[in-house]
Amino acid sequence: MSRYIIPMLLLGQVVASAAAARGRHPPGGIAPGAHPRVEIQDRGWRGLGRVFEQLCCLAEGYRKRSVRIAHYGDSILADDRLTSAVRQLLQARFGDAGPGFLLVRGASRSYRRAGVRLWADRFWRRASVLGRWPKNHHFGYAGVLNWSVVSGARVYLTPRREGGVGGRVSRLWVYYQQRRRGGWIRLLSGRRELGRVSTRGPVRREAVGSISFAETGKRLVLEHGGGGSLRLFGLALERRGAGVVLDGLGMVSTAFHTLLREPADHWLRQLRLRRVNLVIFQYGANASDMRGLKERWYKGVVRKTLARLRAARPRISCLVVGPLDRGYRWRRSMRSRAAIRRICRWQRQVALASGCAFFDSLAAQGGRGSARRWYRSRPRLMWPDLTHVTPAGSRVAGRMLGEALLRAFDRFKRRRGPTACPAVLRAHELLHRRARWPQLELAAPGRR
């Protein structure tokens, strides 16, 4: 499967760029009702209840910090089109807080970010969880470590719009490995320096630094200022104010067991540094290529991956998204892989048993035979490999997931009523107490 991934993703970028040059975008819309409406499964709101409370507070104006979402996945997410569609829906509803996390250099040539035009010079190197590296090696939040030993190495960042959101930023977060011989990095806008971050420290550990500046949509330059080598886990571009940030963390040829290559404590520290509120897992396509895939082994891998979040819960919510349909050619027909249906069933069972929510992408896509129907549709939603979706297909799949999240949020808000936000509930309780006992007023500090 891996030999088809990069050509298909690069071809999708060429198609989208050519359409944009002609003044239009590839059509991604489908007729309303063409796909079944599938709801997110969540028993007792154990998986999404916490993040929905935070979104309620954000919508009511009681929350002053952004809600951050980490979306892990395989090559379906590597070009950021699917996550961009979800990001546009959520930011249009709850506020635009920026394009989010990005890597200096991705794990593959197909790496891109929809909200930022990114280019790094040849003096940056990379290592990822896909390589043969020593055990317990630290790769960071997105599974990729970038480093440079050359003073003057640069990264160029240009914000750009995603549909009706994006295009402006006012803060840069730098996630790095602190070292005794670490260098420093500076942010430039034209010839003006906006700020610096030093990566030097007495002990080796994960750390984060930030640079705030006036909101801009112009090109920014991140430059290695010298003083030692730099080891970066990634960057994040955001805006001041509260809103939603969705980090697209797709990587080619990954699966659930890929996340287990990083130490659990290191991964959880990265989630805490990033202040993640919701983690979405969308894997399964690459596991369907494994010969003799056993139910017991696969469930164990998924269960172990989800168990890592228990140390950070209930603060971090969890959602598992099943894989899209995959097909293969048999004589003159196209058939769906039975392994995909088994993987969906296993993921649902483990996710709900582990206290996570689950969204069945295969059912939302149309069930068995969806790969054939998406390939034959106009516009074409799936490439001839019957595995990877086209740019139009990515937007359709992203809208299905984003709309399902918004419908689940609306159901949660209706059931909880006006007190879905804990801050509103506390305010109502205080008002009720004062109305019931008006003579009992809260005394000022120091009074009796």
25 has pLDDT over 50: no
Residues 93-132 as b/e (b if ≥16 CB within 10 A, e otherwise) read bbbbbbbbbbbbbbbbebbbbbbbebebeeebebbbbbee
State pLDDT tens for residues 168-224: 999 999 999 999 999 999 999 999 999 999 999 999 999 999 999 999 999 999 999
Q: From residue 113, give the alpha-carbon distance in Å to each of 92, 252, 324, 409.
A: 18, 14, 21, 27
Question: In angstroms, rounded to a whole number, what is the distance separating the alpha carbons of residues 323 and 335?
Answer: 16
* pLDDT for res 433: 53
71 has pLDDT over 80: yes
Could you tell me where the beta strands, DSSP code E, fall in 179-277? 184-189, 192-198, 205-216, 220-226, 230-238, 244-250
379 has pLDDT over 80: yes
Together in a domain, 106 and 213:
yes
344 has pLDDT over 50: yes
15 has pLDDT over 60: no
Out of 177, 212, 240, a domain closes at 240
Q: How deeply is 351 buried, as exposed, middle or buried, from its count of CB atoms within 10 A (0-12, 13-18, 19+)?
A: buried
CATH number at residue 124: 2.60.120.1360
Do residues 99 and 234 touch, judged by C-beta distance below 8 A?
Answer: no
Together in a domain, 1 and 142:
no
State pLDDT tens for residues 256-276: 999 999 999 999 999 999 999
Q: Which residue range forms the structural domain that includes residue 176?
A: 101-240
What is the longest distance spanned by two Cα atoms in the chain? 87
Out of 172, 205, 240, a domain closes at 240
Helix ranges (DSSP H) in 285-337: 295-307
Q: Is residue 395 part of a domain?
A: yes
Together in a domain, 76 and 185:
no
20 has pLDDT over 60: no
Give the residue with greater pLDDT, 331 vs 100: 100
Together in a domain, 422 and 329:
yes
Give the residue with greater pLDDT, 369 vs 132: 369
430 has pLDDT over 80: no
For the segment 38-45, the average pLDDT, to the nearest whole number, is: 96
447 has pLDDT over 90: no
Do residues 68 and 236 touch, judged by C-beta distance below 8 A?
Answer: no
Out of 223, 240, 257, a domain closes at 240
Together in a domain, 171 and 292:
no
Most confident of the following: 139-148, 311-320, 419-428: 139-148
Q: Is residue 128 part of a domain?
A: yes
This model's pTM is above 0.85: yes
Residues 61-88 as b/e (b if ≥16 CB within 10 A, e otherwise) read ebbeebbbbbbbbbbbbbbbbbbbbbbb
30 has pLDDT over 50: no
Question: In angstroms, rounded to a whole number, what is the distance separating the alpha carbons of residues 296 and 355?
Answer: 19
Together in a domain, 267 and 394:
yes
Please list, in sequence order, all residues whose beta carbon lies within 8 angstroms of the beta carbon of residue 205, skipping any fewer than 6 positions away: 177, 178
Q: From residue 389, give the alpha-carbon distance in Å to each of 17, 72, 232, 278, 368.
A: 16, 17, 31, 25, 16
Q: Is residue 81 part of a domain?
A: yes
Together in a domain, 186 and 289:
no
Question: In angstroms, rounded to a whole number, what is the distance separating the alpha carbons of residues 152 and 225?
Answer: 6
Do residues 194 and 188 touch, judged by C-beta distance below 8 A?
Answer: yes
Together in a domain, 289 and 390:
yes
Q: Is residue 182 part of a domain?
A: yes
* pLDDT for res 401: 98
Together in a domain, 93 and 120:
no
Q: Is residue 440 part of a domain?
A: no
For the segment 129-139, the average pLDDT, to the nearest whole number, is: 80
Together in a domain, 171 and 316:
no
* pLDDT for res 133: 74
Q: Is residue 166 part of a domain?
A: yes
For the segment 95-122, the average pLDDT, to the nearest whole number, is: 94
Q: How many domains, in total, are found in the chain?
A: 2
Q: Is residue 446 part of a domain?
A: no
Together in a domain, 344 and 259:
yes
Q: How confident is the model at residue 23 (pLDDT cuts 50, 70, 90)?
A: very low
| 3 state DSSP class of 174 | strand
Q: Which residue has the tokens 């689940």?
A: 408
Q: How confident is the model at residue 442 (pLDDT cuts 50, 70, 90)?
A: very low
State pLDDT tens for residues 189-204: 999 999 999 999 999 9
109 has pLDDT over 50: yes
| 3 state DSSP class of 8 | helix
Q: Is residue 270 part of a domain?
A: yes
Do residues 324 and 365 touch, judged by C-beta distance below 8 A?
Answer: yes
27 has pLDDT over 50: no
Do residues 364 and 357 touch, judged by C-beta distance below 8 A?
Answer: no
* CA nearest neighbour of 125 among 144, 143, 111: 144
Do residues 277 and 50 touch, judged by C-beta distance below 8 A?
Answer: yes
State pLDDT tens for residues 236-260: 999 998 999 999 999 999 999 999 9
Together in a domain, 321 and 221:
no
CATH number at residue 312: 3.40.50.1110
